């Protein structure tokens, strides 16, 4: 949604996944996708790096770099916080269930 | 300027939805957010299509800004309440832009769309149309806008405030991580710049922290309040958010926003760059 490319698992044609570290996935609650959830990417010190809003299908996506990250999700139906380890450029899928 | 004049709460906005002379304006990078539901009665501005010249890299002229706001039904005497997605980045950018063109009464909705949605407040899909006006802007107030030559001359003299994320400041990322990282400019930051990410001034729901908390952040970073400050980011929108915190909330008038920001500076030939990687 705002400020981000469409949050679909399909990447734009120009994106080179041998160079980009793409952290992506679906936010869900009780197995149903959650649109309009706020997903934050925090760096290894806990500092904000980026934020996106999930799409109608609950998808989010970040272009990060190899390293340790945290995903923090807020929605009026729940929240979640999850650590992510990205070892090398490529696709890193992280499904997130709200509680 | 002070917090009570520049910032309004979601409750205040809800109470003033139908107040004559108060106009809500949603400003986004991607206006599909507005189209999918907006605060009732709010008009929309597209930060790129409406506020940027379509050929050269600059703002629209005063005459085009007047025509834009006239067509949106905004008067120069109206109280304009700005809000948007991305933690109000583009709304803060529009706030600074309205001030640049001399609009008298502008306010930012604390927390923007995010806080509004997290509160579960109502959004409307109804089309909004307001009768056209005859908006009159003023000449640009360049006391709040910095250009590249001033930025280069400020190295070692003024405060340079880089409000991007630590990874962008260090040169490990070239753009905020919701965007692909392949960019044409060089990575790093302007020498002598201090890094206070915009996000430190805000709570996770997008609302601003208290004035005391915000001032303490810049004190800790070593910002010398007796010197002039230039804030920058990648394209000037996140730095508008920090400009707002310092100029409007803390009432420090000696700060400019450098809208050329890293996409300009990191593409200049021969200028000094520092990086940590």
Over its C-alpha atoms, chain A yields an Rg (Å, rounded) of 13
CB A85 within 8 A of CB A68: yes
* pLDDT at site A20: 87
- Mean pLDDT across the stretch B96-119? 97
Which residues have CB under 8 Å from B140's CB, separation 6+? B59, B62, B100, B101
A9, part of any domain: no
Q: List the catalytic residue out of B106, B233, B245, B250.
A: B233
Q: Do A3 and B113 touch (CB under 8 A)?
A: no
pTM (2 d.p.):
0.92
Domain residue limits at A34: 21-97
Domains B3-140 and B143-265 share a fold: yes
Rounded Cα distance, A90 and A22, in Å: 6
Please tell me if residue A81 touches chain B, with a CB cutoff of 8 Å.
no
Q: For residue B125, is pLDDT > 80?
A: yes
Q: Which of B114, B180, B197 sits opposite A38 (nearest CB)?
A: B114
Torsion B251-B74-B30-A70 (CA) sign: positive
Residue ranges of domains in chain B: 3-140, 143-265
The 3-state secondary structure of B186-251 reads CCCECCCCEECCHHHHECCCCCECCHHHHHHHHHHHCCCCCCCEEEECCCCCHHHHHHHHHHHHCC
* pLDDT at site A13: 75
* pLDDT at site B101: 98
* pLDDT at site A4: 55
CB B207 within 8 A of CB B115: yes
To the question of domain B3-140 being in CATH 3.65.10.10, the answer is: no
Rounded Cα distance, B211 and B120, in Å: 27
Which residues have CB under 8 Å from B191's CB, separation 6+? B155, B156, B272, B273, B274
A8, part of any domain: no
Spell out the per-residue pLDDT of chain A, length 99, in tens: 445 554 445 677 777 888 889 999 999 999 999 999 999 999 999 999 999 999 999 999 999 999 999 999 999 999 999 999 999 999 999 999 998
- Mean pLDDT across the stretch B112-123? 95
Q: Do B180 and A49 touch (CB under 8 A)?
A: no
Which residues have CB under 8 Å from B149's CB, separation 6+? none
* pLDDT at site A12: 77
Annotated catalytic residue B207: no
Looking up tokens 């949603």 gives B26
Q: Among B142, B147, B170, which Cα is nearest to B232's? A: B147
Kindly report, residue by residue over B172-216, the tens digit of the pLDDT.
998 888 887 877 789 999 999 999 999 999 999 999 999 999 999
Kindly report, residue by residue over B237-256, the tens digit of the pLDDT.
999 999 999 999 999 999 99
Which residues have CB under 8 Å from A66's CB, separation 6+? A21, A86, A87, A88, A89
Residue A62: CATH number of its domain: 2.60.40.10
The bridge status of strand B229-232 relative to strand B159-162 is parallel
- Which residues in chain A have their CB less than 8 angstroms from residue B28's CB? 2-3
Please give the tally of structural domains in chain A: 1
Select the more confidently predicted residue: B1 or A53: A53
Please tell me if residue A49 touches chain B, with a CB cutoff of 8 Å.
yes
Q: Which of A12, A49, A76 sits opposite B177 (nearest CB)?
A: A49
Domain covering B143-265: architecture = 3-Layer(aba) Sandwich (3.40)
Kindly report, residue by residue over B126-172, the tens digit of the pLDDT.
999 999 999 999 999 999 999 999 999 999 999 999 999 999 999 99
Report percent pLDDT > 70 for chain B.
100
Q: For residue B1, is pLDDT > 90?
A: no
* pLDDT at site A11: 77
Kindly report, residue by residue over B231-242, the tens digit of the pLDDT.
999 999 999 999
């Amino acid at each position: 949604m705002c400020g981000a490319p469409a949050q679909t698992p399909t990447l734009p044609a120009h994106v080179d996944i041998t160079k980009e570290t793409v952290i992506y996935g679906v936010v869900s609650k009780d197995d149903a996708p959650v649109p309009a959830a706020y997903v934050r990417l925090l760096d290894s010190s806990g500092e904000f790096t980026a934020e996106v809003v999930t799409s109608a299908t609950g998808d989010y996506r970040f272009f990060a770099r190899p390293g340790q990250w945290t995903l923090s999700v807020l929605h009026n139906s729940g929240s979640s916080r999850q650590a992510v380890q990205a070892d090398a450029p490529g696709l890193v899928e992280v499904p997130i269930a709200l509680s | 300027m002070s917090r009570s004049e520049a910032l309004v709460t979601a409750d205040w906005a809800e109470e003033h939805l139908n107040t004559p002379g108060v106009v809500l304006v949603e400003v986004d990078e991607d206006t599909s957010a507005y189209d999918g539901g907006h605060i009732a009665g709010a008009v929309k501005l597209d930060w790129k299509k409406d506020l940027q010249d379509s050929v050269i890299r600059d703002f629209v002229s005063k005459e085009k800004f007047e025509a834009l706001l006239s067509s949106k039904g905004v008067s120069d005497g109206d109280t304009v309440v700005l809000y948007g997605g991305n933690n109000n980045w583009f709304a803060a950018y529009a706030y600074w832009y309205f001030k640049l063109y001399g609009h008298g009464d502008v306010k930012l909705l604390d927390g923007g769309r995010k806080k509004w949605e997290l509160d579960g407040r109502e959004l409307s899909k109804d089309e909004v149309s307001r009768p056209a006006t005859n908006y009159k802007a003023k000449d640009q107030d360049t006391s709040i806008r910095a250009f590249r030559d001033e930025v280069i001359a400020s190295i070692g003299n003024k405060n340079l405030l880089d409000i991007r994320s630590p990874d962008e400041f260090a040169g490990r990322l070239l753009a905020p991580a919701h965007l692909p990282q392949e960019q044409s400019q060089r990575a790093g930051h302007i020498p002598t710049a201090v890094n206070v990410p915009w996000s430190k001034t805000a709570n996770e729901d997008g609302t601003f922290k208290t004035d005391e908390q915000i001032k303490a952040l810049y004190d800790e970073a070593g910002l010398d309040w007796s010197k002039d400050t230039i804030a920058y980011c990648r394209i000037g929108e996140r730095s508008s958010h920090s400009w707002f915190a310092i100029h409007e909330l803390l009432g420090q008038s000696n700060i400019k926003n450098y809208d050329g920001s890293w996409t300009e500076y990191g593409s200049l030939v021969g200028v000094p760059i520092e990086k940590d990687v």
